[in-house]
Amino acid sequence: MKSGITGNELTTIELAGQGDILYERGTGVLKPVDQHFKYVVVWNKTKDGWKYQWDIWNSRAR
């Protein structure tokens, strides 16, 4: 929060998988600094619902 980030906006581009594992690929922007990024999240279905297994992101040019 010291960096001034107040939120983000995520856009899912693709959601796919099979069985108890899904992957989500998308883009986002950090507010209010307008820093754009892309991300991938791997989801794992548990008895308590879908939980993220791991994620990775990096910044991208607009």
CATH number at residue 24: 3.10.450.50
Buried b (16+ CB within 10 A) or exposed e, 19-44: eeebebebebbbeeeeeeeebebebe
- Summarised one tens digit per residue, pLDDT across range 11-20 is 999 999 999 9
The pTM is what? 0.84
Q: Would you say residue 15 lies in a domain?
A: yes
Domain that holds residue 45: 7-59
- Please state the domain count of the chain: 1
User: Which tens digits make up the pLDDT trace of 14-59?
Assistant: 999 999 999 999 999 999 989 999 999 999 999 999 999 999 999 9
